[in-house]
Amino acid sequence: MNDIRIMNRAADNIRILAASMVEKANSGHPGGAMGGADFINVLFSEFLVYDPKNPTWEGRDRYFQDPGHMSPMLYSVLALAGKFTIDELKDFRQWGSVTPGHPELNVMRGIENTSGPLGQGHTYAVGAAIAAKFLKARLGEVMNQTIYAYISDGGVQEEISQGAGRIAGTLGLDNLVMFYDANKIQLSTPVNAVTNEDVAMKYQAWGWKVITINGNDVEQIRKALTEAKAEKERPTLIIGNTIMGKGSVDAGDGNFENKVSTHGQPLSKAGASITETIKNLGGDPDDPFQIFPEVAELYAHRAKELESIMSQRYEAQEAWAKANPEISAKMKNWFSGKAPVIDWKAIEQKPNQATRAASATVLGVLATQVENMICASADLSNSDKTDGFLKKTHAFEKGDFSGAFFQAGVSELAMACICIGMSLHGGVIAACGTFFVFSDYMKPAVRMASLMEQPVKFIWTHDAFRVGEDGPTHEPVEQEAQIRLMEKLKNHKGHNSMLVLRPADVMETTVAWKMAMENISTPTALILSRQGIKDLPSKQNRYDEALQAERGAYIVECDQNPVVTLVASGSEVATLEEGAALLRAEGVQVRVVSVPSEGLFRSQSKEYQDSVIPVSGKVFGLTAGLPVTLESLVGANGKVWGLESFGFSAPYHILDEKLGFTGANVYKQVKQLLSTK
């Protein structure tokens, strides 16, 4: 271990850099970063195992930071480790900077997750720990790693922490070590103004090992981390009692620590003196952006240690690969992120099923053919039909990760974030299911998955008011319009941030899963029906025709000279077909279009879009959601029949009649549309 004096000097160096970054930007959060500097320094200079020359090495320890507002702390320690330059620290929070206000996923620079929404970050760590256990069960000691997480008072207060804590404890994730920065100060108040819970007892009740220390004491931090790494039964929570704004003083050289004001603004605005604080911490106020020589030497020494550690790890990994060539090839393939090869056309679907049942059929195939896939459900596996996957494997249990199913319990947000963490870890394909109406609980996670470009598969069933007897609480109406906004929102690469698919029949469901598995760059949503749907008509081979869904929208049927185009997604396409038959009986020529993904359709050429939904013609749209779901597709010459209220409790076929989702009403509405000029 390193000399305590040098370790304290390094922590002070981090404090100076963090406070100076915020001061120069005139924006940010210095206090927490200053308090957490001791822990982050010990972790990075003595414990975290990674390859500085190969940041994507599969077996590395991972560090997930939850409080993104403490980014100055993370950027500063990574600068000591050679991942950021001093000039990049000076550019904190500026346009085009690689040091944004909250850290954004950048594994090459040592940042394993985008953080900001409190509570989500440490939940990613739980997912990564599960992924590591899952992979270790298949690959062996080559995946023997530790997942570290950093959480603050705000993250503990966010309700998602309950799901993360319960799940990690239940599964006995002994490869997970979480540091709780308990500085007793938050943005607006002291912590005791909003909570008086005993955090240690809470985590112990969930089955965690809990160690309470002075979080600014190097020796106590070392001892706690050593003890945590030796734990073989439970995840470990290290409660580090730290000092908010540690080292800060006012202009009269008076102590300015433990102040609410230093949480979310530059020290000078908070009432402290940045000049005197830098002096107090051993820095030069005229040149605060520097790495002290002895600190540079400390991190150079760690780099040498890591070089030696990695030499041994690579040697062991090479020997393992020679002894296990097939498993080694699997590992390389899994971490490549490539889509698995599946004979999709060979998947046999029963006709006229609910699309959730068709999804179950596909999941059964994936469970047996995609060895690195993990499927999860929020206590609904027999209803969302993720049990199609579960029936071919078994659920994770403490001490047994040989299965591939994650029973998350009633915890949609935590489940979604944990699946994102699995994806961030790499080497696994994560999917999770629940009812579509409960996607409302998951929106913050979906947004982060989209921002980080993580290809998690979200399986949402019971897609509309046809849930029926369960009533309006369980009947999604506005949810599809909400989630389709993610198809309109671009990620930083300029692509649709999410792929949203609502298949119209069993074969379209197979194709939707094909698209989901082949989408390795963004999350995918599959929105599936509870009730059976009549298969769409086919001229030759329905699967081949359904492959047209890969362009987002396609013509299911088209008469010779159509006077109207009928547009829908999901089960409403079959209802359009019923209406089309009535219209044709009166000589009205129609075109029927299925639009499983508007976002993907809008990415096609203008020529293709116009060939499917002509701009000049009459267009009728049918949606079980809000009319706005289809209004942009239908256009000014068209009309949408949708649902403009919450649903009702009744059998779904009664609701179809009462709410106008029948072939007869399609006929009626189209006739009215055609009668208008």
Span 42-60, pLDDT tens digits: 999 999 999 999 999 999 9
Spatial separation of the C-alpha atoms in residues 609 and 590, rounded to whole Å: 17
Give yes or no for a contact between 327 and 42, defined as CB atoms under 8 angstroms apart.
no
- The confidence score (pLDDT) of residue 637 equals 83
pLDDT in tens, 78-96: 999 999 999 999 999 999 9
Q: 412, 453, 487, 557: which is the annotated catalytic residue?
A: 412
Q: What is the pLDDT of residue 636?
A: 86
User: For residue 198, which of 187, 212, 186 has the smallest C-alpha distance?
Assistant: 212
Contacts of 475 (CB under 8 A, 6+ apart): 437, 464, 465, 466, 467, 468, 646, 647, 648
In angstroms, the first-to-last Cα distance of the chain is 84
Q: Which regions of the chain are under pLDDT 70?
A: none
Report the pLDDT value the prediction gives residue 137, as an integer from 0 to 100. 98
Phi and psi at 588, nearest 5°, equal -85, 120
Q: 136-142 long-range contacts, Cβ below 8 Å, gap at least 24?
A: 136/401, 137/400, 137/401, 137/402, 138/327, 138/330, 138/371, 138/372, 139/327, 139/330, 139/331, 140/320, 140/324, 140/327, 141/316, 141/320, 142/58, 142/59, 142/316, 142/317, 142/320, 142/331
> How many Cβ atoms from other residues are within 10 Å of residue 335's Cβ?
17
pLDDT tens-digit profile of 512-553? 999 999 999 999 999 999 999 999 999 999 999 999 999 999
Closest by Cα among 151, 72, 145 to 119: 151
**Encoded tokens for 659:** 């709410």
**pTM for the model:** 0.98
Q: For the segment 395-449, what is each residue's pLDDT rounded down to a tens digit?
A: 999 999 999 999 999 999 999 999 999 999 999 999 999 999 999 999 999 999 9
Residue 216: name the closest of 34, 364, 63 by CA: 34
Count CB neighbours of 623 within 10 A.
28
**pLDDT tens for each residue of 163-213:** 999 999 999 999 999 999 999 999 999 999 999 999 999 999 999 999 999
**Relative orientation angle of helices 443-451 and 479-488, to the nearest 10 degrees:** 10
Give pLDDT, residue 554. Answer: 98
Q: What angle do CA 300, 59, 371 make, to 5 degrees?
A: 165
Distance CA 464, CA 504 (A): 13
**What is the length of the chain?**
677
Question: Measured between alpha carbons, how far is 275 from 283 in angstroms, rounded to an integer?
Answer: 9
Q: In the prediction, which pLDDT does 49 show?
A: 98
Known catalytic residue at 412: yes
Long-range contacts made by residues 613-616, C-beta under 8 angstroms, separation at least 24? 613/553, 613/565, 613/567, 614/565
Cα 219–Cα 220–Cα 225 angle in degrees, nearest 5:
100
Q: CA-to-CA distance for 427 and 131, rounded, in angstroms?
A: 8
Q: Which of 236, 238, 248, 126 is nearest to 185 (CA)?
A: 248
Instruction: Work out the burial of residue 521: count CB atoms within 10 Å of its CB; fewer than 13 is exposed, 13-18 middle, 19 or more buried.
Output: middle
| Residue bearing tokens 């029926």 | 468
Residue 82's pLDDT is what? 98
- Coil, strand, or helix at residue 65? strand
Residues 6+ apart with CB under 8 A from 225: 42, 43, 47, 177, 238
3-state SS assignment for residue 391: coil
Residue 325: both structure tokens together: 């060539």
pLDDT score at 55:
98
Give which of 376, 629, 380, 593 is closest to 500, Cα–Cα.
Answer: 629
